[in-house]
Structure 1
Amino acid sequence: MQTTRPGEWVDQDGTGLDDIAPDRYRMQIPTERYVSPEFVARERDSIWMKTWQVVGRVDDLPKVADWKQYRLFDQSYIVVRGKDDKIRGFVNACRHRGNVLCPEAGGNAKRGFLCQYHLWSYDLQGNLKGMLREALAGPIDKSTHGLIEVPVDTFGGFIFLNPDPNAVPLSEFIGDEVATMLAPYHLDEMVTVMDVTEAIDCNWKVVMDAFQEGYHIDGIHPQLLQVINIDPKTSRYRFFDQHCVSMAPFDVVGASPEAQVDGIMALPETFPSTVAVLPRFTELVEQYRNADGTLTFPEGIKARNLLQQATRDTLTGMGLDVSGLTDAQMSDNHGWVLFPNFFMTIRAGEATIVMSMPDPDGDPNRCIWHVASYMWLPDEHKAAFIAEPIVVDEPGSFKYFEALQQDYVQMPRQQIGLRNTSLEHMALVKEEVVIAHFHSVIDKHLAASGAN
Structure 2
Amino acid sequence: MPPTRPGEWLDPASGIGTNLDDVLPGTFTMSISTDRYTSPEYAARERETIWKKAWQIVGRVEDVPKPGDWKKYQIVDQSFIVVRGKDQELRGFVNACRHRGNALCITDTGNAKRGFLCQYHLWSYDLDGRLKGMLRENLAGPIDKEQNSLLPVAVNTFAGFIFLNPDPGAPPLREYLGAEVVDLLEPYNIDEFITVMDVSEPIECNWKVVMDAFEEGYHINGIHPQLLQVLHINPRTARYRFLENHSVAVAPFEVAGASAQEQVEGMLALPETFPGTVAVIPRFQELLAPYQDENGKVQFPDDVTPRALLQQATREVLTGMGLDVSALTDDQMVDNQGWVLFPNYFMTVRAGECHVIMAAPHPDGDPNRCIWHVASYMYVPEEFRDAVRAEPIVVDTPGSYKYFEALQQDYEQMPRQQKGLRNDRLDHMSLVKEEVVIAHFHSVVDRYMAQTTSR
TM range (shorter): over 0.9
TM-superposed CA distance for 1:305, in Å, is 1.0
Amino acid at match of 1:317: G
> Does structure 1 residue 22 correspond to structure 2 residue 38?
no
TM-superposed CA distance for 1:68, in Å, is 1.2
Alpha carbons of 1:88 and 1:450: their partners in 2 closer, same or farther (altered >3 Å)?
A: closer
Q: Residue by residue, what CA displacement relative to the aligned partner does 1:370-408 show, whole Å, maximum 9, x if unpaired?
A: 000000122122122101110001111111011000000
Identify which of 345, 355, 360 aligns with 1:357: 360
> Does structure 1 residue 298 correspond to structure 2 residue 313?
no
Q: Residue by residue, what CA displacement relative to the aligned partner does 1:332-369 show, whole Å, maximum 9, x if unpaired?
A: 00000000000000000000000001010110110000
Return the alpha-carbon distance in structure 2 between the equivalents of residues 427 and 298 of structure 1: 46
SS of aligned partner of 1:399: coil
Q: 1:316 maps to what in 2? A: 319
> Does structure 1 residue 239 correspond to structure 2 residue 260?
no
Q: 1:66 maps to what in 2? A: 69
Return the alpha-carbon distance in structure 2 between the equivalents of residues 407 and 287 of structure 1: 39
Using the size of structure 1 for normalisation, the TM-score is 0.98
Q: 1:368 maps to what in 2? A: 371
- Worse overlay, 289-298 or 132-141: 289-298
Q: 1:213 maps to what in 2? A: 216
SS of aligned partner of 2:244: coil
Q: 1:439 maps to what in 2? A: 442
Report the count of equivalent residues. Answer: 450
> Does structure 1 residue 132 correspond to structure 2 residue 156?
no
Identify which of 416, 430, 433 aligns with 2:433: 430
Amino acid at match of 1:219: G
> Does structure 1 residue 403 correspond to structure 2 residue 406?
yes
Return the alpha-carbon distance in structure 1 between the equivalents of residues 219 and 427 of structure 2: 21
- 1:370-385 to 2 correspondences below 5 Å: 370-385=373-388
TM-superposed CA distance for 1:74, in Å, is 1.2
> Does structure 1 residue 449 correspond to structure 2 residue 452?
yes
- Is residue 19–residue 240 contact of structure 2 (8 Å, CA) maintained in 1? yes
Q: Residue by residue, what CA displacement relative to the aligned partner does 1:202-247 show, whole Å, maximum 9, x if unpaired?
A: 0000000000000000000000000011000100000110000000
Q: 2:229 maps to what in 1? A: 226
Return the alpha-carbon distance in structure 2 between the equivalents of residues 46 and 292 of structure 1: 62
Return the alpha-carbon distance in structure 2 between the equivalents of residues 136 and 383 of structure 1: 50
Q: 2:159 maps to what in 1? A: 156
- 1:11-160 to 2 correspondences below 5 Å: 11=11, 12=14, 13-160=16-163
Return the alpha-carbon distance in structure 2 between the equivalents of residues 436 and 300 of structure 1: 39
TM-superposed CA distance for 1:165, in Å, is 0.6
Query: Which structure 1 residue ranges, 5 or more long, are not aligned?
Result: none
Return the alpha-carbon distance in structure 1 between the equivalents of residues 453 and 28 of structure 2: 20
Amino acid at match of 1:186: N
Query: Which structure 2 residue ranges, 5 or more long, are not aligned?
Result: none
Return the alpha-carbon distance in structure 1 between the equivalents of residues 149 and 387 of structure 2: 41
Return the alpha-carbon distance in structure 2 between the equivalents of residues 45 and 313 of structure 1: 48
Q: 1:7 maps to what in 2? A: 7
Return the alpha-carbon distance in structure 2 between the equivalents of residues 165 and 443 of structure 1: 22
> Does structure 1 residue 187 correspond to structure 2 residue 190?
yes
Amino acid at match of 1:31: T
Amino acid at match of 2:440: H
Q: 1:174 maps to what in 2? A: 177
Amino acid at match of 2:45: R
- Is residue 38–residue 421 contact of structure 2 (8 Å, CA) maintained in 1? yes
- Is residue 160–residue 190 contact of structure 2 (8 Å, CA) maintained in 1? yes
SS of aligned partner of 2:291: coil
TM-superposed CA distance for 1:300, in Å, is 3.5
TM-superposed CA distance for 1:136, in Å, is 1.1
Amino acid at match of 2:363: P
Using the size of structure 2 for normalisation, the TM-score is 0.97
> Does structure 1 residue 284 correspond to structure 2 residue 268?
no
Amino acid at match of 1:9: W
Q: Residue by residue, what CA displacement relative to the aligned partner does 1:128-149 show, whole Å, maximum 9, x if unpaired?
A: 0001111111111111100001
Amino acid at match of 1:331: V
Q: Residue by residue, what CA displacement relative to the aligned partner does 1:279-336 show, whole Å, maximum 9, x if unpaired?
A: 0111111111135642111113221111101101111111221111000000100000
Amino acid at match of 2:133: G
Identify which of 322, 325, 329 aligns with 2:328: 325
Return the alpha-carbon distance in structure 2 between the equivalents of residues 293 and 215 of structure 1: 34
SS of aligned partner of 1:129: strand
Amino acid at match of 2:169: N
Return the alpha-carbon distance in structure 1 between the equivalents of residues 386 and 355 of structure 2: 19
- Is residue 315–residue 333 contact of structure 2 (8 Å, CA) maintained in 1? yes
Return the alpha-carbon distance in structure 2 between the equivalents of residues 448 and 364 of structure 1: 20
Return the alpha-carbon distance in structure 2 between the equivalents of residues 132 and 19 of structure 1: 66
Amino acid at match of 1:4: T
Q: Residue by residue, what CA displacement relative to the aligned partner does 1:35-55 show, whole Å, maximum 9, x if unpaired?
A: 000110111111000000001
Q: Residue by residue, what CA displacement relative to the aligned partner does 1:43-90 show, whole Å, maximum 9, x if unpaired?
A: 111100000000111110010000011111111111100011111111
Amino acid at match of 2:100: R
Return the alpha-carbon distance in structure 2 between the equivalents of residues 36 and 302 of structure 1: 51
TM-superposed CA distance for 1:450, in Å, is 6.4
Amino acid at match of 2:91: R
Amino acid at match of 2:339: W
